[in-house]
Amino acid sequence: MSEAPTVFQRRIVIGAVLCVAAFALVGIRLVHVTLLKSFGDGHPAIATIARADLTDRNGELLARDLPVKDLYARPQFLDKAEAAHELAVAAGADERRLLAGFNNAKHPYVLVARQITPDAEARVMHLGLPGLEFEPGGKRYYPDGRNAAQVVGVTDPDNNGVSGLEMGLQNQIRAAAGGQVRTSIDMRVQYILAHEVDQARTTFTARAAGGVVMDVNTGEVLAMVSAPDFDPNLRKVEGGDSSRNIMAQDVYELGSIFKIITFTLALEDHTLKSLDEVFTIGQGLKLGKFTIHEAEHMPATLAARDILAQSSNIGTAQIVLRSGPTRQREFLAHMGLLKPLKTELPETARPLYPIANWGQIETATIGFGQGISVTPLSFVTAAAQVVNGGRRITPTFLKQEATDLRGEQVIKPETSEQMRDLLRYVVTNGSGKKADVPGYDVGGKTGSAQVPGPHGRYIPHALRTSFYGVFPAHNPRYVVYILLDQPHGTKATAGFALAGWTAAPAVGRVIQRIAPLLGVPNNAPPTKLASDTQ
């Protein structure tokens, strides 16, 4: 017959059970604090996940986690109204929300404030209130503020990327926590592009503006600007600001810069006898019930090269109609212009173009850049392939170690060479003269597009101007593109707001400033001094 446990043995068993229970509660509490996700005003569930630094291609810091704390309260206050008031003042929280949470028995924890500053933490501690808990976390900080804001993007209060590269590179950023993810952006180039875009937007009172600088051999985006911009450190958009990246997620009818694609098609398929072939321009080109007109006065006849240089719509329409609707559509698709562009940026947009009815008039208007809408980044990529030897590139926002990432041939090398010569001719003898920079052999094309309005009609006298520039034209390394949305002429431009007066000079200034930084040699002849001629 077994003996009954003694009092001492019973106390040992009870103590062991209590210890197990205590350890279990501690374990549950640890899981509660570090693993579970909270909702509403509940206690935090996942501790903030650390993110790697984002840097530019040269290591300059673009984004970094800073240690902060979130404040929670267990509402066991003698005077909940007074506690809500004091905490609201000390932590900058909403008093009514706190009081409602304190009076809600369903929530054992109430979020007082996220990411509080050390000063706020000191004020809260000075209150001496019971049941307060500080949870360590991180807040993303952007030292360059507005510069490249739409490209870099932002995170939410839980440190998850919600836009830009913060979202698009989320996996890489988390996998490299404690390290860095190096982007393709060059902040030296970014500052210059942003300055010139802002200056042009202000000078011509444009509604919006933007720009891109891309390496034609790797597809790396060295700079991208969208204005208006915003301050990512505020985590909100204030009046007049915008978090929208118009270069990547807005589609536009880009106008005459699209003639680059039209002439590339004509040269590729040999539908032009030569660039010296002469076309009759006249007073208008009638297609069915529509008549195509020129934006500016043109001579009665123009050679093919001057059709591009002077940006003749009538001449371009005649050239593209030789290719016809089917071939034009096939070629645009081949160049990547009829589908959304895929990059590390989550922001993208589907192009707009005729689906069911792509006939003669659509072919003509698309040939000079009306009736089709694409993102500026998509066009820059396609046009970079035109000048880089005719090989496919994929735009990227990550720094690449290789200096040549060109892929398959999309057009013949000789077509690419002809287009480089032709774009140089546009700058030396045509509408792009104000983009020329001595010593850098700039090539390019102007674009002045009508702006679509309501009910399918174009807004009278409203233009969207842009310039696509490549340098050096005969051995391209970089393209620079700037767009101005509805600029206005000034006294200095004699009231003209066309691209040759607005966007082209801005691109020229960007090239003049960034070329030395990027190691592009200046091949201008040495300046002759007066003494040298004697």
Distance CA 125, CA 140 (A): 25
- Nearest 5°: phi and psi at 430? -135, -145
CA 241 to chain centre: 15
Please pick, among 163, 226, 243, 256, the residue that the annotation labels catalytic. 256
Distance CA 338, CA 323 (A): 18
Distance CA 474, CA 467 (A): 18
**What are residue 235's DSSP bridge partners?**
none
112: left (phi over 0), alpha (psi -120 to 50) or beta: alpha
Q: Measure CA of the first residue to CA of the last residue in the chain; give whole Å.
A: 132
- Contact in structure between 425 and 442 (CB atoms under 8 Å): no
Torsion of CA 328, 332, 333, 338, to 10 degrees: -120
DSSP assignment of 378-428 equals: HHHHHHHHHHTTSB----BSB--S-S----SBSS-HHHHHHHHHHHHHHHH
Residue 79 burial (10 A CB sphere; 0-12, 13-18, 19+): exposed
Active site residue 256: yes
* CA contacts within 13 A on the Cβ side of 518: 28
Query: What are the b/e assignments for 314-344, b being 16+ CB within 10 Å?
Result: bbbbbbbbebebeebbebbebbbbbeebebb
Catalytic residue IDs? 256
